[in-house]
């Protein structure tokens, strides 16, 4: 009976191991995203490798197309963005300089008006009253000129900023078209 018990245990162990299936073969490892954008994605151009190009080949192709796009359009999108930022900073500085230059314009106008008012008041017989009227008129005129100068500076700054932004956008758009054309010639599907 001992042999039959051992034989029964052996058969049971074999049956249990047959029922317990081996885990399925592991799927090939999928590399996690690196978190780095491709050159195309950085430019908001999305390129899908249509001919099975590897990531390293796509990087090489994007670099070649980037250089080709810069050469053929005469503009580098990263430089165009920097130039637009610089134009905005210059416009802001000009506006600030105008604000500083017009500071105290009301007081200067009041002094000029009072001086003129004294002369006119002296002729009319009351220099003090003429000075007060002239100072008030000069104050109002000085502030008005300062306000006008500030508005003109603000309009000029806005116009410069808008022109720089539009020029930058046009340069970037032309570059993206050239860059995309190059990638399409290398068998990528491209959207921007």
pLDDT per residue rounded down to tens, the chain (192 residues): 566 665 555 565 555 555 555 555 554 554 445 567 899 999 999 999 999 999 999 999 999 999 999 999 999 998 887 877 887 788 778 777 777 776 766 666 656 665 665 556 566 666 677 666 766 766 677 677 777 777 777 777 778 778 878 888 899 999 999 999 999 999 999 998
Q: How far apart are CA 81 and CA 4, in angstroms?
A: 87
Residue 191 is classified by DSSP as E
């Amino acid at each position: 009976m001992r042999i039959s018990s051992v034989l029964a245990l052996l058969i049971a162990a074999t049956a249990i191991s047959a029922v317990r299936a081996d885990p399925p073969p592991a799927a090939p490892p999928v590399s996690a995203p690196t978190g780095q954008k491709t050159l195309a994605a950085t430019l908001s151009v999305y390129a899908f490798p249509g001919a099975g190009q590897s990531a390293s080949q796509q990087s090489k192709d994007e670099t070649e197309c980037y250089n080709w796009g810069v050469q053929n359009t005469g503009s580098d999108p990263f430089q165009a963005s920097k130039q637009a930022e610089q134009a905005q900073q210059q416009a802001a500085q000009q506006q600030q300089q105008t604000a500083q230059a017009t500071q105290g314009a009301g007081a200067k106008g009041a002094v000029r008006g009072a001086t003129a008012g004294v002369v006119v008041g002296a002729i009319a017989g009351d220099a003090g009253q003429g000075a007060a009227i002239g100072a008030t008129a000069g104050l109002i005129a000085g502030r008005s000129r300062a306000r006008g100068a500030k508005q003109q500076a603000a309009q000029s700054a806005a116009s410069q900023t808008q022109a720089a932004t539009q020029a930058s956008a046009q340069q970037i758009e032309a570059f993206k078209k050239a860059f995309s054309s190059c990638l399409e010639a290398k068998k990528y599907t491209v959207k921007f």
